[in-house]
Amino acid sequence: DLLMQVEGKPKCCFFKFSSKIQYNKVVKAQLWIYLRPVKTPTTVFVQILRLIKPMKDGTRYTGIRSLKLDMNPGAGIWQSIDVKTVLQNWLKQPESNLGIEIKALDENGHDLAVTFPRPGEDGL
């Protein structure tokens, strides 16, 4: 979907599940995201948004989780987010799986979530 792209790259993460797992019971589901290092202490607001079919008012997503994290200078960090309910819903209704959008904005509006490596940045 071109509406879900920025500079030709998807701004969402799409997960495709095999029909073999569709009827399994989900006991636990964690999404791990990597946040780029920061140079100064900062507060980061992490949002995980589930993409949905556009509503009449133009809304294209609904919130899954929001976190407020304090980050210190140094190495980047891994953060886990519980997505069990989202996964259960996707398995019950696979057609509702349009993907998720991950945002991790610092106090200056910089997105620290690594969904695509930047030039010169190693992949995960």
Q: How far is CA 115 from CA 12, 23, 99, in A?
A: 8, 29, 13
Instruction: Name residue 12's amino acid.
Output: C
- Pick from 3-7, 40-44, 63-67, 88-92 the range whose average pLDDT is largest: 40-44
Provide the 8-state DSSP code for 108: T
Is the pLDDT reported for residue 62 higher than 90?
Answer: no
Q: pLDDT band for position 52 (50/70/90)?
A: confident
Q: If phi over 0 gives left and psi between -120 and 50 gives alpha, with beta otherwise, what is residue 22?
A: alpha
Residue ranges per domain, the chain? 29-105
Q: Which two tokens stand for residue 52?
A: 């949905």
Q: Which residues make Cβ contacts (< 8 Å) with residue 53, sequence separation at least 6? A: 98
Task: Find out whether 49 and 95 touch, Cβ atoms under 8 Å.
Answer: no
Q: Model confidence at 41, in pLDDT bands (50, 70, 90)? A: very high
Q: Is the pLDDT of residue 2 over 50?
A: no
DSSP assigned state of 113: B
pLDDT band (50, 70, 90) for residue 56:
confident
Instruction: Find out whether 27 and 91 touch, Cβ atoms under 8 Å.
Output: no
* pLDDT score of 66 more than 50: yes
> How many other CB atoms sit within 10 Å of the CB of residue 83?
20
DSSP 39: S
| Tens-digit pLDDT profile for residues 78-102 | 999 998 988 888 888 877 777 888 8
Cβ atoms of 107 and 19 within 8 Å: the answer is no
